[in-house]
Amino acid sequence: MDPDYKRLKYVANYDTLNINGNNFYEIRVFENLKQYNNQPKKFYYARNVGLIKKELFDGTIWELKNYFINE
């Protein structure tokens, strides 16, 4: 295993985040401290939804457009 494997850091917690007109709740944000195999720089996760946004090291931003929760 790579001795430098601990690259992910918890950086923020948001109650609500609006993306493309959708409100997401209980957001957790994690950041890669080093670029590794094209992984995003920041990950945004919403409770009961999953990954809703990611920011790449090159500045590209990906945001969730549609989703469906099957309960």
DSSP for 11-58?
Answer: EEEEEEEEETTEEEEEEEEEEESS--TT--SEEEEETTTEEEEEE-TT
Per residue in 31-50, pLDDT (tens digit) is 988 776 667 789 999 999 99
**All residues at 6 or more sequence positions from 33 whose CB lies less than 8 Å from its CB, including other chains:** 7, 8, 9
pLDDT band for position 68 (cuts 50, 70, 90): confident
**All residues at 6 or more sequence positions from 24 whose CB lies less than 8 Å from its CB, including other chains:** 16, 17, 18, 46, 49, 52
Average pLDDT along the chain: 86
3 pLDDT above the threshold of 60: no
| Percentage of residues of the chain with pLDDT beyond 90 | 54
Q: Model pTM?
A: 0.79
